[in-house]
Chain A
Amino acid sequence: MKRRTTTIGLVAAAITLSAAACAAPEKSNSSAGSTNTGGGDQTSGDYMTKLIADAQKEGQLNVIALPPTWANYGNIIKAFESKYDIKINSKLPDTDSQTEIDTAKRLKGQGSAPDVFDVSQAVALANTDMFAAYQVQTWADIPADNKDPEGKWVNDYGGYFSIGYDSAKVDAPANLDDLLGSGYKGKVALNGDPTSSGSGVAGVMMATLAAGGTVDDLSPGVDYFKKLNGAGNLIPVDVTPATIESGQTPVVLDWDYLNAAETKALPSWKVVVPDNAVLGGYYFQAINADAPHPNAARLWEEFLYSDEGQNLWLAGGARPIRADAMVKAGTIDEKLYGALPPVKGTPVFPTVDQATKAATYLADHWADAVG
């Protein structure tokens, strides 16, 4: 008797353990069957009306990695929710672009998978098979270099890498070399580790340009940070609004729109793009090919690329991709546009090949520079 109970018990245990290694059957995905309006005729006058209706039927939108103070996403989300009565589920607001893709892969087929992505260049171009093609109504306004010919991705906003500093705590740095001075001891921070974070790489590239080099060879940039670290000026702390406002990091190297967001909380915070060391970068917008709410995703993109959406990004200090077309059409918010930090010098936008080369170089040399 006991032996039979033991055997049954062991078999049951084996089944349970094997099941634990496999995924459970999926509960019916409520929007799995919704048809993609985007496949229809976009030029018809009813297109937007139909898209809005279909999106509202889905009722929700899953977004990921959109911090409220990143290019004014907090207000963008609120504006979209109140305009279309669609609830936005914003998860993992503080995570990076690669995790966006990894999460979409993890949650594939589930109702909580992200619908849309806002990712950096390297991540976007390496994962185009995850994206669904879609061209927004204002597609023609976007320069050819900033969109995928098939429509799989499109740049949404861009910025230049900058020096943000608290004018009440440190002297205004005119360029990167100034930061090597003794007045900046223990005060300079770079947002992100260049071996894993896109903004970190951009920082090293900006330093390379400032030292007179090109982004094909990042050694001048890494040398700069080695010097900065050796002087005791660079601190490896993770930059947060708290570290900036408390005075722990009175100088932060980051994208200009991210630095600009701090001025609201700290009025003495200023942003400057160094002359002739202008490192530019765009972010990439895409729709998840397995989006649980495909119509809401398309409506979201329509909203982002409408004049209202683009101006909301501008309010966050980012340069919206349709800026040139909107200036010509007079629909841009003149005050905000004029308030962007001036830029002297030709902007450099690294290509994918340059970025890949940079990644290898940094993987081999960064740890020594800041160790």
Chain B
Amino acid sequence: MAARRRIGASLGLAPFLLYIGVFLLVPTLVVFVHAFQTNDTPAQFSLDAIRQLNRSATLKITKDTVLLSISTALIGAVVGAMVAYVVSTANQDGLLRRFVTSTCGVLAQFGGVALAFAFIATIGNTGVVTGWLNLEDTSWLFSLKGLTLVYLYFQIPLMVIVFLPALDGIRPQWREAADNLGANTWQYWRHIGFPLLLPAFLGSALLLFANAFATYATARALVNQGSPILSLKIGNSLGNEVSGSQGNLAASLALEMVVIVAIVMTLYALLQRRTSRWLR
């Protein structure tokens, strides 16, 4: 019967689901339950923390975080895709490709205080580039604008690394076939190349969005006043010497972050379904 086959097939997912359940879902649920509680012991049910999400200050922070993540995701995706493309045209076993992918792999995870200082040493008050270009005032580095630039430093390499396997899947035969039919480069890309790569491109962009959305240490090193993005607000709620730890607020903010990513993912899934219809 179809139902029994379905259950049987789903059992193949059991090890994965069990692992995720123990090491991700249960810890997440433990945290999210706290979003609906007070901060005293024993904790009681309360919607206070959830209501705080609706304050105008928090809504502004949410909006700014989403904009920051979208912009770095899009720019990072486009630039990263270009770099990935030129790497994919190089010799697969060659030293250039190995070197570029190794560097991108490392830089994709470069962040925190070290990355922040690298930029401070570059375009800060006494930065190397500040000296070369005689820049007057570079304190924009410590604002959302600066964060956009710094985020791109790991977003672009991340895009290269996750998008490259998709580019490797392009068969030279497709280009040959297009040539034989008289297509020029632009037509090839528009009708064959881009549509085939779009699903992987969108998926990688989604990853970049989530990556920027949750970045904390890098942002904190650069903007330690005012908590202008969600992850900083969470950090502000937890290690708080002034008003005490507000674990429930941190939990509700984290819950909001997951909901936002879920919404973005739903839009992404709808977009995927629409654009890959002709592939079936």
Contacts and interface: CB of A to CB of B under 8 A. Distances in A.
Contacts of B227: 193, 195, 367
Contacts of B244: 98, 122-123, 126
Contacts of A6: 7, 11
A99 B239 contact: yes
A238 interface: yes
Contact of A246 (B26, B120, B220, B224): B120
Contacts of A242: 117, 120
A201 B242 contact: yes
B257 interface: no
A353 to B, nearest CB: 14
Interface stretch (A42-50, A75-83, A182-190): A182-190
A20 B124 contact: no
- The winner among B14, B22, B242 for most chain A CB atoms within 10 A is B242
Interface stretch (B103-111, B135-143, B171-179, B184-192): B135-143
Interface in B211-233: 220-228
Contacts of A196: 236-237, 239-243
A248 B239 contact: no
Contact of A20 (B4, B22, B223, B243): B22
A21 B30 CA distance: 7
Contacts of B38: none
Contact of B120 (A2, A17, A185, A243): A243
B51 to A, nearest CB: 16
A120 B237 CA distance: 17
B225 A102 contact: no
B222 A248 contact: no
A17 B125 contact: no
B245 interface: yes
Interface in A308-336: none
Interface string A144-157: 00000000000000
Nearest to B126: A247
A223 interface: no
A2 B7 CA distance: 10
A16 B236 contact: no
A95 interface: yes
Contacts of A238: 113, 116, 220-222, 224
B259 interface: no
B226 A370 contact: yes
Contact of B138 (A186, A195, A200): A186
A236 interface: yes
Interface of B: 4, 7-8, 11, 14, 18, 21-23, 25-27, 29-30, 57, 113, 116-117, 120-121, 124-126, 137-139, 142-143, 220-228, 236-245
17 contacts: A6-B7, A21-B26, A21-B30, A95-B239, A96-B239, A98-B240, A98-B241, A99-B238, A102-B238, A119-B241, A192-B224, A235-B142, A237-B224, A247-B124, A247-B125, A248-B120, A371-B228
Closest 4 CB pairs of A and B: A236-B225, A247-B126, A238-B224, A186-B139
Given A120-B241, A193-B224, A193-B227, 11 more contacts: A17-B18, A17-B25, A20-B23, A20-B26, A21-B26, A102-B238, A102-B245, A193-B236, A195-B243, A196-B240, A237-B120
